[in-house]
Amino acid sequence: MQHRQLEYQPWSARRLDDRHLVSGAGRYVGDIAPADLVHATFVCSPVAHGATTEIDVDDAMCMARKESRT
């Protein structure tokens, strides 16, 4: 098996598309927060083939009320 020597540039490649990112002007998905944004959490059941009989949403409703006051 022959090994080929890799060629490389001894200098940094000029990147034209990153200036706004490194200057802090970039926009990321995590920065977008619409006013009507809804969060969801998925939980795996510890019981195989179990059936959900009830869901306690009291803590979630308390959090929603606290956030709507601010």
| 13 pLDDT more than 80 | no
Per-residue model confidence (pLDDT) at position 1: 62
pLDDT for res 69: 67
Instruction: Quickly state the pLDDT bin for 14 (edges 50, 70, 90).
Output: confident
Does residue 62 lie in a domain region?
Answer: yes
Q: Which two tokens stand for residue 41?
A: 């959490």
Residue 39 lies in a domain: yes
Is residue 57 very low, low, confident or very high in pLDDT (cuts 50, 70, 90)? confident
Give a yes or no: residue 5 inside a domain.
Answer: no
Q: What is the pLDDT of residue 68?
A: 66
| Domain contains 2 | no
Structural domain harbouring 28: 19-69
Q: Which of 69, 70, 61 is nearest to 39 (CA)?
A: 61
- Confirm whether 55 is domain-assigned: yes
pTM for the whole structure: 0.32
Q: How many residues does the chain have?
A: 70
- Which pLDDT belongs to residue 44? 84
Please give the tally of structural domains in the chain: 1
